[in-house]
Every structure is written in structure tokens, then in C-alpha cells.
Structure 1
Amino acid sequence: MTSPFTLTAPREALLATIETALAPVERKNTIPVLANLLFDAGPDGVLRVSGTDLDVMTSVTSVLDHSGMPEQGITLPAALLHDILRKLPAKADVTLKANTHGLASLTCGRSRFNLQTLPGEDWPRLEEKTEPPACFTVPAKKFAALLAAVSFAISTEETRYYLNGVYLHCAGEQLIAVATDGHRLARAVYSVGDGATGMPGVIIPRKTIALLASALKAADSQADLAVSVSENRICFQTGAVRIASKLIDGTFPDYERVIPPANPNRWRFDVAALLAATERVSIISSERGRAVKMTWGQEIVDLSVSNPDAGDGQDAVDVTADDDGEVTIGFNAKYLADMLAHITGSATVNLGTGGDPARFEPVHRDDDEIALTFVLMPMRV
């Protein structure tokens, strides 16, 4: 370090930067530098703070006043720095100085802390060294909605690792996000024009999806999200926040084969009413995955749950049938409720027999920009 690094900032501004950057950092690490945050110079010399777990990296640029930044930056203990800042007085100024002996001092009023540092050159970078083949921009809130519509269906079964994320790909001018755990499937489609043409189909890990969702939630309502994709990396940039992530190295299944075609057995229903009825009858269940039995008739769908140890529950919801058929089918009550919670207004369900997958779709409205399709596998009842 050729000159001491000095940073002076309001406690709230520095804390907000640290909280965003440390999101991917694991508290327990066998590699010491991974428990640290990297402070280095970002674009135009502004301060950049980054955290990583080797699979995903979050970087935040800030205009906080600093000087003497070494070329490779310095690293400071993430959790310790965050805990100290949280306990400091509100609206106070914080000064951070790093010397040439592997120590950094943090002062605020009469409070003073000395923290161990590690060299910035030991900190791993996840950025691509070459220009990615696909780059496009999408409204941040639209991309957030795209991910939120499907992420509930991401598998948590580690043996099928290729299902532990969201499959993002393009078909013409449409950007498509898909997630499935083998029992349910969610697909969301949004038109992005020709900007994403040539983008390879990629599987974004579950942790990256959660970090991105948090960043997009905090973004301005009019903000854009810049996306760059290669075969093994994906990067997202919105405002001062950049997230770079490795991708899941696997082949996502041919999900289109799972989505049943439209057929005459179709019903229209009010989503809020069916969700409320599902939650009511499932109270009787003592098991997380107990089935709710549904009999779809001409004007009513009857719902029932039976629990040999507690009793049973029944409810009914008005529906409109497109045909004169009747279908009895069972669904995992939690999966059904989770899916319905991601739809507003009215929706339709297409059913084959009681043993066929069911296709749910929101009724299209003129202001809908994202097309949703959900598939639920039936349960024996």
C-alpha cells in the first residue's frame, strides 16, 4: 500500500452500502478472504464495495468521500464491520483508515475500533474478461415481476441440481423464465424486442435470484436493469448495484412437454375466492402435503380435505364452465395456494382427467405485459 486509505462518510450511507454488498457473504468461511468485503475503486474512481461467496458477487458503487485507494483495494471483515456500524449512533460521521501494517481503524466520536485487513489482490473476482455474447436492458420492475412469478416453484432438492434455479432463455423477441420442482411448473413470458437475440439458455441459481429480487425491490420504480449473459456467467446492473453470478452447469428439462395443451375441459374462476377456500379447508390437515380434492362442475367447484385424525372440511366456489364435463382431481394444498397467490383477478384452469397435469392461466387483461402459465401435477385422492 503506497498511501493510507481513508474513508469518511455518514454512518447511514456507509451502513446501507455495506448491507447491500455483504448479502452473498457467508458468516462461516474456510477461506478467510471470503468473509471480507472488498473496498476498491469502481468506474470513474468512485468507491466500490463488493462481497462474494465464489458463486455470486454483489458490488455497490458509492460517491462516499475517500482517498489513497490502493490499486488492488483492501478487504475488511464483513460481519464485524456491519455489526459495528449498526451499533454506532445515528447521523454520526464515520472515519475509516487503513495503514500499511494490515490494520484499519474505524472511529466515530469517542468510539474506536481496529480491524484486521487482508490484501485486495487475494480477493476473487467474478467478472467476465471478454465481452459477453448477449446484452440487453429491461425495466427493473418488469424483470422483478418475471422472477417473482416463477421463483416459488424452484426445486430445493439438491440431487436434481439443474432444477435449483430459474431457466432464462429467449424465443424470438420473448424473454422466458421457467422454474419447476417436478410437482409444479411456472412460466413467465415478457417481450424485450430483439435486444436479447442470441442469448444462450441459462439456469440462474436460487441464491442469485434471491439477491437480485432484493436489489430490484430497492430500485427506483423507473429504473432499468442491464443484463449481460455468457455461457457460464450472468451479470445484472441497476443503479449503483451490480450482481455477477456463476450459472448452474446442467441441462434444464424440456419443460414444454409438461405443459398440457388447451382442451374443452376449461373453467373460469375468481382467484381470491378459490385461494381463500383452499386455505380454509386445508386447516383440517395435519400434514404439509395433504391433498385437497376438487370436483369441478358446471357452476361450482367443491373442495374437500379429509384427515383421519381430525375430521374433514368442505367448501365451494362459483365457477364458469366452458363445457358440460365434470372432473374430480386432487392437488397438494400448499402447492395450489402458492400458485394462486401469484395470480390476481380471474383465471382459467384446463383439465384432462383426474390423473393429468392441470394448466392454470390468468385471464388476459389489456395492461398485462407478462404472460403466465402454471402447471400442477395431480395427487391421488
Structure 2
Amino acid sequence: MKLIQADRDTLLKPLQTVTGIVERRHTLPILSNVFIELKNEYLSFIATDLEIQITTSAKDGSALDVEYSVTVGAKKLQDILRALPEQAQVTLEASENRLQAKAGKSRFNLQTLPAEDFPRFPESKESQARITLQQGQLKHLLSRVQYAMAQQDIRYYLNGLLLLIEDNCLKVVATDGHRLAFAFMMLETHQEKNEVILPRKVVLELARLLADSEEPVIVEILQNQVRFSFSNVVLVSKVVDGKFPDYNRVIPTGYQKQFDINRQLFLQTLQRASILSNEKFRGVRLILTTGNLRIVCNNSEQEEAEEELELQYDGEALDIGFNITYLLDVLNNLSSETVRCSFGDANSSSLIAIPGEENFKYVVMPMRI
């Protein structure tokens, strides 16, 4: 049975949207598949890994007036469509347990699994909180903190990001126990307090899918779920069950030792010095004296890199060590011209912020070198 005939991109773009969460090897074979449904001239694509579900659809007038659903290997179909010429006309035809993709003289017969076996998400209906903002705003907010998420920490709640709606603020916080990134933006309406921990995979998918535009994104906090709706995409995810650390206790205040520095200059200097940092410990020493900052890296082969920067500073001298990766991460993910670095003593956490802006703070613990 012929399902649809369309340009390659009409099928490829929505397929690429959903396949980011699909695992090639899975204990449940159907989770490697994408659910395709044809209904009312709309072609819908759904992918899930049982924690996240992404749905998107494409309207095409050439679709037949039939209702049909099937699941097929997501990555295989995506790879086939990618390999076809850009202007190719693709026809999808279904038979008993096969889906055939045809383009010109090319034929691809793919195995299918029954659509009724696909584990669709039971979505919560009632939202506890709902906000609308621009996609670009949310993308920018997440980019300021997501690099600080833990990756495979035994404290599973750190392998994600805290999303907090409070009063007329949307706050995001990420930490791996060694550094913490905090950012917020103002909302147009007052909201009841609601907070969820988003899984790491969801944050990375949002960073990939959100457009840097003024198009709206609706964020809804549901019972044990969170839903993002934007640009013909609906992403629903389970939330991480756990108690996120109290970030307010971690952010230091009242530090007297501080200097402002050009972000790009600081970044490039650290990048050069990092070439000779210890590959395992990645240590860097910042030696702060009046009007001067020395940056020193060395490694187990007794090699050393030293850089000097002039800056406006007339406080106490300080010699403090850090993991250089933590400094490079924050400088790479900010866009401001200048950053402000504030310090207590050599054993206290340090604060990196943006002069004149209260909506971003980055705390990094020192290390012994």
C-alpha cells in the first residue's frame, strides 16, 4: 500500500528531529524504531527511550487519505534518506511486515515491527505550571549552565539540570560537585514555585532542537513529567526524582579580591597554557599580585607553560589552583566581553560573574597543585 510520496527533506527533517534519542542497540528492539503514523494527511514521527518521547509531524498533500501506522528502524531510514540526492522524490509503501522506500531506481526494503507494540508515553494531562518564552531565550539560558552538569555521577540527581520557576523568574542550575553554574531570566507573569530536575539527555536534546529565534516555546511541568512544545515538536520527559543541592549556600558573597578581565583574552591565554597541563589532573595555578596575573601549568614530564597578563588589581596577593577545564568551559559558553573573577583565599571557592549582570554566576572549587 502506497503511504506517501514526498521530497526527501519533507521526510528527513522530522525524522532527524526525533532520532537523537534513539539508541541503536537496545534490550527492547522496538526502541530502535521510529513510530510513523499517517492520519488526515499528516505524517507523524515518534521516538522514545522510555524516559523521553519526541513527537513531530509533517503535512503533505500527496499523502493518501488513509490511516496507517508502522514502526521501522530509525537510524537505517535516516541513513537511507541522507544518502539520497537532495531533490529526490521518495515514495513509502507498506506491505505485511516491510516498509519500502523508493527513489528513482533505488529500492530499500526495511523490516517493520507492529505499531501497537510501540511503548507510547502515558502523558499527564494536568499541568502544575505553564510558561511561554522565546526559543532563543531558553536556548541561551540552558547554554549558560549545561556544561556544568555531571556525566555519570553516583549522585544521579547531579546528572541533570534544576529548572526552577519562582515568582516571575525562570532559574536554571547545574553542578557536578566541583563547580556550579546558575542563571536566570525574568518572566512576564507571576508564577507559583515549581521545580524539576531535567535529565542530562533532555537538556542536550533541547540545546540541539531549539532555534535561536523569537518563536515561542511552551514549558509545562506535569505530574512527574515536563513537556516542551515548540516548532511542531513536542518533547515529553520524565523528571529525575531527587533533591537538588541548595545552590544559594554554594554561591559566595562579599569577596574583596576581584578583577575584571577581557573574556576572550583570558580564554586564549588559558588555552595556550593548557597545552602543557597534566593530562590527568588538568591543574592550573593563578598567581595574583598587584597589577599582574601569572598563569602556570606544568605536567609530569617537567614541562611548564607560563603566561602573564596585566590587569587592574591592588588587593592581597593570592596563589590558587584550579582544574583548567572548569575555567575553559565557562569562558567558552559566555558571550560577554568582560568577566569578573572574585576570590576568598586559596582554599575557598571562587566566583566568576559578568560585571553589571546579576543573572549569571559560576562557582568553582579550588584544587591543590
TM over 0.5: yes
Aligned 1:1-381 pairs, distance under 5 A? 4=1, 6-40=3-37, 46-64=42-60, 65-70=62-67, 73-99=69-95, 101-126=96-121, 128-194=123-189, 197-198=191-192, 200-216=194-210, 219=211, 221-321=213-313, 324-343=315-334, 344-364=336-356, 371-381=359-369
8 Å CA contact 1:273, 1:317 repeated in 2: no
Q: In structure 2, what residue type is equivalent to 1:191?
A: M
1:36-86 Cα distance to aligned partner (Å, 9 max, x none):
1111257x7622111111111221111123235537x32122122122222
1:165-193 Cα distance to aligned partner (Å, 9 max, x none):
11110232111111011111101111113
* SS across alignment from 2:345: coil
Q: In structure 2, what residue type is equivalent to 1:251?
A: K
Displacement after TM superposition at 1:161 (Å): 0.8
Q: In structure 2, what residue type is equivalent to 1:112?
A: R
Q: In structure 1, what residue type is equivalent to 2:160?
A: G
Displacement after TM superposition at 1:113 (Å): 2.7
Distance (Å, rounded) in 2 between the aligned partners of 1:241 and 1:5: 26
8 Å CA contact 1:284, 1:310 repeated in 2: no
Classify 1:316/1:261 alpha carbon distance in 2 versus 1 (closer, same or farther; 3 Å).
same
Q: In structure 1, what residue type is equivalent to 2:135?
A: A
1:263-313 Cα distance to aligned partner (Å, 9 max, x none):
222222222222222122222224243321112223111111233513222
Distance (Å, rounded) in 1 between the aligned partners of 2:262 and 2:143: 21
Distance (Å, rounded) in 2 between the aligned partners of 1:296 and 1:307: 21
Normalised to the residue count of structure 2, the TM-score between the two structures is 0.93
Q: Bigger CA drift: 139-148 or 109-118?
A: 109-118
Q: In structure 1, what residue type is equivalent to 2:345?
A: T
Distance (Å, rounded) in 2 between the aligned partners of 1:6 and 1:222: 35
Distance (Å, rounded) in 2 between the aligned partners of 1:113 and 1:312: 57
* SS across alignment from 1:173: strand
Classify 1:59/1:199 alpha carbon distance in 2 versus 1 (closer, same or farther; 3 Å).
farther
Distance (Å, rounded) in 1 between the aligned partners of 2:298 and 2:105: 65
Displacement after TM superposition at 1:122 (Å): 1.5
Displacement after TM superposition at 1:336 (Å): 1.2
Displacement after TM superposition at 1:105 (Å): 2.4
Distance (Å, rounded) in 2 between the aligned partners of 1:220 and 1:292: 34
* SS across alignment from 2:356: coil
Distance (Å, rounded) in 2 between the aligned partners of 1:244 and 1:260: 35
Distance (Å, rounded) in 1 between the aligned partners of 2:204 and 2:244: 20
Q: Bigger CA drift: 239-248 or 279-288?
A: 279-288
Q: In structure 1, what residue type is equivalent to 2:64?
A: S
Classify 1:134/1:69 alpha carbon distance in 2 versus 1 (closer, same or farther; 3 Å).
farther
Q: In structure 1, what residue type is equivalent to 2:88?
A: A
Q: In structure 2, what residue type is equivalent to 1:14?
A: L
Distance (Å, rounded) in 1 between the aligned partners of 2:2 and 2:129: 37
8 Å CA contact 1:202, 1:231 repeated in 2: no
Distance (Å, rounded) in 2 between the aligned partners of 1:360 and 1:23: 33
1:1-58 Cα distance to aligned partner (Å, 9 max, x none):
xxx561111112211221212111110122122111111257x762211111111122
* SS across alignment from 2:311: strand
Classify 1:97/1:199 alpha carbon distance in 2 versus 1 (closer, same or farther; 3 Å).
farther
Q: In structure 1, what residue type is equivalent to 2:54?
A: T
Q: In structure 2, what residue type is equivalent to 1:201?
A: E
Displacement after TM superposition at 1:220 (Å): 6.0
8 Å CA contact 2:139, 2:212 repeated in 1: no
Normalised to the residue count of structure 1, the TM-score between the two structures is 0.90
Classify 1:102/1:70 alpha carbon distance in 2 versus 1 (closer, same or farther; 3 Å).
farther
Displacement after TM superposition at 1:351 (Å): 0.8
